[in-house]
């Protein structure tokens, strides 16, 4: 079904990871909250990051490199890409907005359910947005055929792979065809790969530097656990990359974020071990979630699961019960493109995942009685 969002309508986008808001809603809990509502690397970062941050601390009184050149060089080597095809930003959300301002699209197309900032970024430049619904019966996968064709000439399509909050992964081969068809239409694709690290083989990053209608956004805050520091990058045609670089304030990325990124991105051992461990925990958590009566988790290629309540009861009351065990889940009630009764949980370490499973079982049994 295609809907149209009203031009210029202000949009507010709730996110996971807001434990302050949860404290206000549900009251104080003693001790640390285990946050399953935001999907950030739960494992310790290498000691080299702390050393790099301590060293960068001495440069707090120096303006950061405007282009994050050191980090760009490492990224260019890692991906075998020209350095001029990369721009670094204050998280990938920063680049998402700057890309829209750089492209000045004539219209927009988004899918729902998906990340809410696409609609907000497009609405900020005042364009009409078409919305395509992803079907839960088909596992929220991309509909075959015409979906992308609904964008007009000069328009921008946002697509998230794997998608947040569904975890659904679209194969690279399918997306290459989409890029081709959009090029013929004179439309542009912004591909958000914030959660692709566990399924790297489906990334479009290698071709993004050479396509005139494709920009790939990558986050360094999730897989590399830098949500509080903020870091991300985009890969695209050098002409567009230069425009994005020039948009916004001159120093978007601080010295601490640049220093952390430089030691993390080049660390292949950390990357490999994180992938192995996170994937192992993901499989384990999925198996356990599938065995809990009253919920249905959707298969996911990302380090989180979309979960549906199959019995009566509200996610709000489930969230409240889990909160007593200091666990925070992402309530997706009212999330555009999803029916009521959905929530999302991140994959954390084994001990925390087991706590979640136990607490969910208990809370759902209480809901029933
Ligand atoms: C799908 C998706 N893309 C992009 C972002 C922005 O990530 P960041 O700005 O932290 O890199 C998020 C954050 O939650 C997200 O879920």
Q: 136 CA distance to ligand 1 centroid (A)? A: 22
Same domain membership, residue 319 and residue 191: no
Ligand 1 within 6 A of 93 CB? yes
Q: Say if residue 356's pLDDT is above 80.
A: yes
Whether residues 61 and 75 fall in one domain: yes
Are residues 144 and 252 located together in one domain of the fold?
A: yes
pLDDT at residue 10 in the model: 45
What number does the ligand 1 atom closest to the CA of 115 have? 1
**The whole model's pTM is what?**
0.95
Pocket flag, ligand 1, residue 193 (CB < 6 Å)? no
**Could you report the per-residue pLDDT of 186-209, keeping only the tens digit for each?**
999 999 999 999 999 999 999 999
Same domain for 205 and 161, yes or no, is: yes
Picking from 266, 296, 316, the residue at the C-terminal end of a domain is 266
Taking residue 213's Cβ as centre, other Cβ atoms within 10 Å add up to: 21
Mean pLDDT of 229-242: 98
- 214: containing domain: 47-266
pLDDT band at 147 (very low <50, low <70, confident <90, very high): confident
In Å, how far are 19, 153, 181, 221, 310 from 23, measured between CA atoms?
A: 6, 46, 47, 24, 27
Residues 96 and 116 in one domain: yes
Domain boundary among 266, 285, 316: 266
Q: What is the pLDDT of residue 1?
A: 41
Does 86 sit in the ligand 1 pocket, CB within 6 Å?
Answer: no
Task: Looking at the structure, tell me whether residues 59 and 33 fall in a common domain.
Answer: no
Give me the mean pLDDT over the 25-42 stretch: 86
Kindly state whether residue 10 falls inside one of the protein's structural domains: no
Residue 327 has a CB neighbour count (10 Å cut-off) of 24
pLDDT in tens, 204-219: 999 999 999 999 999 9
Which range is most confident: 24-38, 132-146, 282-296? 282-296
Pick the atom of ligand 1 nearest to 231's CA. 11
List pLDDT tens digits, range 244-275: 999 999 999 999 999 999 999 999 999 999 99
CATH code of residue 255: 3.40.640.10
Question: Which of 120, 165, 221, 223 should be mutated for ligand 1, with most atoms under 8 A from CB?
Answer: 221
Structural domain contains residue 228: yes
9 occurs within a structural domain:
no
Rounded to whole angstroms, the Cα distance separating 311 from 296 reads 10
Tell me, yes or no, whether 92 and 137 share the same domain.
yes
Same domain as 324, residue 196: no
Which pLDDT belongs to residue 2? 46
> Among the three residues 266, 299, 333, which one is the final residue of a domain in this structure?
266
């Amino acid at each position: 079904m295609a809907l149209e969002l009203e031009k210029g309508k202000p949009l507010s986008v709730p996110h996971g990871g807001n434990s302050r808001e949860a404290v206000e809603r549900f009251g104080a809990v003693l001790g640390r909250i285990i946050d399953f509502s935001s999907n950030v690397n739960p494992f310790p970062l290498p000691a080299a990051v702390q050393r790099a941050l301590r060293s960068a601390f001495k440069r707090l009184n120096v303006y950061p490199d405007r282009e994050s050149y050191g980090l760009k060089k490492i990224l260019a080597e890692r991906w075998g890409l020209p350095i001029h095809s990369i721009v670094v930003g204050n998280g990938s959300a920063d680049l998402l907005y700057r890309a829209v301002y750089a492209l000045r699209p004539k219209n927009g197309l988004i899918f729902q359910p998906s990340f809410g900032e696409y609609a907000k970024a497009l609405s900020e430049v005042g364009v009409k947005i078409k919305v395509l619904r992803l079907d839960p019966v088909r596992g929220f996968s991309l509909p075959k055929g015409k979906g992308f064709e609904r964008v007009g000439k000069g328009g921008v399509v946002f697509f998230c792979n794997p998608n947040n909050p569904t975890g659904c992964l679209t194969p690279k081969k399918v997306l290459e065809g989409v890029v081709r068809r959009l090029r013929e239409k004179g439309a542009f694709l912004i591909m958000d790969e914030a959660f692709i690290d566990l399924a790297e083989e489906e990334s479009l990053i290698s071709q993004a530097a050479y396509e005139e209608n494709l920009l790939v956004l990558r986050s360094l805050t999730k897989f590399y656990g830098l949500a509080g520091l903020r870091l991300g990058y985009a890969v695209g045609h050098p002409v567009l990359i230069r425009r994005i670089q020039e948009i916004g304030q001159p120093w978007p990325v601080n010295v601490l974020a640049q220093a952390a990124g430089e030691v993390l991105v080049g660390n292949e051992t950390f990357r490999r071990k994180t992938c192995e461990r996170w994937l192992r925990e993901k499989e384990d958590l999925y198996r356990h979630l599938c065995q809990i009566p009253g919920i249905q988790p959707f298969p996911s290629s990302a380090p989180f699961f979309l979960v549906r309540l199959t019995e009566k009861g509200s996610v709000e009351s489930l969230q409240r019960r889990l909160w007593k065990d200091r666990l925070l889940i992402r309530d997706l009630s009212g999330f555009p493109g999803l029916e009521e009764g959905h929530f999302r949980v991140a994959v954390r370490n084994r001990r925390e995942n087991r706590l979640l499973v136990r607490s969910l079982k208990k809370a759902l049994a209480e809901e029933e009685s």
